[in-house]
Chain A
Amino acid sequence: MLIFFVSILIFAGTQMLPGDVAQAILGQSATPEALANLRAELGLNAPVYQRYLTWLVGLLHGDLGTSLTNGQNIASAIGTRLSNTLFLAGCAAVISVPLAIILGLVSVLYRNRWPDKLISTITLASISVPEFMLSYILIFYIGVQLGWAPSVAMINQNMSLFERLHAIALPVTVLVMVVLAHMMRMTRAALLNVMQSAYIETAELNGLSRFKVIWRHAFPNAIAPIVNVVMLNMAYLVVGVVVVEVVFVYPGMGQYLVDHVAKRDVPVVQACGIIFAAVYITLNMLADIMSILANPRLRHPR
């Protein structure tokens, strides 16, 4: 349902704003005849809602239209790129989620002592630097000066899993650092919030050890907020992946999107936009469902 509305919004964003697609494609010097021809070719003369419906119906059938610039079918162009992107993002998620939760726990356990302060400082620093700059810093030191990992993440069908993993080592590191910072800070806040509850004091007054207090009493109640945090941070992953792919010249969705934004290839942009949004919305919905499942009030009604 939400995806449906988002599709309207994305379509509206590209179609109804003041800005003529045909003009944009052909540039300022285009002749009026050429403009008119292109408009007819693109079906731009039809009313907006009709064009939207055509686009939507195509979308539902898996037909994403054809690229304006090279006439390729967008769906087939996206296929492998999407799987590449998911591979990259998936690796980053698999590493960062457990790490963020563990670091969050550590910094709550050692609250206001040096491990907590160290973690806070490092994460604050990595939040404050944009993804692409973090990427170049890593390329500069690890890729170029130390030569540990390739600074361009080219992968193709013929590579083995290990070769692929090696190729994407740096982009994954960047993504992990970006996502980890946000996720860990929010995990820490969520846990601290739970730790201030009266039942934590009760547990302490029952003589439970610090570890048991956190594991048995704080953690079950922190699951819902933490799941939320994790899913929210997948958003940073979605955005981060776009930038990181451009930096490392990685053949994924993000690079594809940015390329075609520059070329003003509207159908491609629309298709990529809707896919990114769909992934993002699905993640958010998962978060909602999981926090409902984790809430005892909703699981065990009166």
Chain B
Amino acid sequence: MIKRIPYPALFGLIVTISFFLAAVFAPWLAPYGMSQVVGDVWEPASAAHWLGTDNIGRDLLSRLIYGGQTTIFVAIAATMVAFVVGTALGLFAAVIGGWVDQALSRLVDLIMAIPSLIFALVVLSVMPVTVPVLVIVVGLLEATRMFRLSRAVAADLAVMDFVEAARLRGEGRSWVIFREILPNVISPLIAELGMRFIFVVLFVSTLSFLGLGIQPPHADWGGIVKENKDGIVYGIPAALLPAVAIAALAISVNLVADWILERTTSLKGGRNG
């Protein structure tokens, strides 16, 4: 299974893994506490504070590390909700077909007919903004995309002769889904999972930035931008640091996802040749 990994993907993998490790070990890595005021407002970078301090004098590096932890964990949770709900329903719809498929597909069409940020805003206007609510709302909205993809891939597979052969053999539905179809959809779905994860990171950050995501004093990347945005006008780049972090994470995950996708398509090519 383990073959030579191309350099871009390797780079992406290393950066992604270091982000995750930083998130997991945040309390040990961060030099100061998350909401500990340790200095003056917007101090420039120094030996004590590598990235300077923020709008009320908290250490920016510590904020960034804790912010990464929040952002990444919320995003992982939401992506998992999206993946589990979306894929399960998508495969189910593709294999069952008929009116169940129709009903689910129309519902998803309907939800997708509203831009997801707008929908999230509408829902969050009445729901209390807490982490579980955030995870579920974002997760369910993203689940619609997972549903679309898994249904499309599985519907293509469901009409293939090997699935028909299994049905003619008299195999049950669970065998068809789990043994015939799932192994063939798993890698495009994993690649999609990577893309979804990035979308969720961006989504959650955007919500936090708008003041509707993670609530202070908890740090998250979107929130850090919001807190420090006034500094921009005075030429203080504190608000730009989370941007760098998000971009680095997004690009690395993208590189990994691209690589996974490429591997699966080349496998397909080998099958036809």
Contacts and interface: CB of A to CB of B under 8 A. Distances in A.
Indicate whether A and B are direct neighbours in the complex (CB within 8 Å). yes
Interface of A: 2, 5-6, 9-10, 13-15, 17-19, 21, 24, 124-125, 127-134, 136-137, 139-140, 144-145, 151, 235, 238-239, 242-243, 246-247, 257-258, 260-262, 264-266, 269-270, 272-273, 276-277, 280-281, 284
Contacts of B246: 128-130, 133
Contacts of B202: 130
A131 B202 CA distance: 9
A132 B128 CA distance: 24
B251 A128 contact: yes
Contacts of B233: 139, 144, 151
Contacts of A280: 113-115, 118
Contacts of B16: none
A266 B115 contact: no
Contacts of A151: 232-233
Given A151-B233, A262-B212, A273 B121 contact: yes
A265 B121 CA distance: 12
Interface string B192-209: 000000100010011001
A9 B127 contact: no
23 contacts: A6-B110, A9-B114, A10-B119, A14-B126, A17-B123, A17-B127, A127-B250, A128-B198, A128-B247, A130-B202, A130-B205, A130-B206, A130-B246, A144-B232, A145-B235, A235-B115, A238-B118, A243-B206, A264-B126, A265-B125, A280-B115, A281-B113, A284-B113
B48 interface: no
A136 B121 contact: no
B114 A133 contact: no
A179 to B, nearest CB: 13
A26 to B, nearest CB: 14
Contacts of A130: 202, 205-206, 209, 222, 243, 246
Interface of B: 110-111, 113-119, 121-128, 198, 202, 205-206, 209-212, 222, 225, 229, 232-235, 237, 239-240, 242-243, 246-247, 250-251, 254
A238 B121 CA distance: 13
B243 to A, nearest CB: 4
Nearest to B241: A133
A239 B229 contact: no
Contact of B110 (A9, A129, A262): A9
A280 B126 CA distance: 23
Nearest to B212: A261
Contacts of A260: 125
Nearest 4 CB-CB pairings of A with B: A128-B250, A133-B243, A269-B125, A261-B125
Given A14-B123, A129-B246, A140 B115 contact: no
Contacts of A136: 225, 229, 232, 239-240, 243
Contacts of B242: 133
A276 B118 CA distance: 7
Contacts of A246: 209-210
A21 B123 CA distance: 12
Contacts of A10: 114, 119, 122
A253 to B, nearest CB: 10
Contacts of B209: 130, 132, 243, 246
Nearest to B253: A128
A239 B116 contact: yes
Contacts of A125: 247, 251
A266 B124 CA distance: 10
Contact of A277 (B115, B211, B239): B115
A6 B113 CA distance: 8
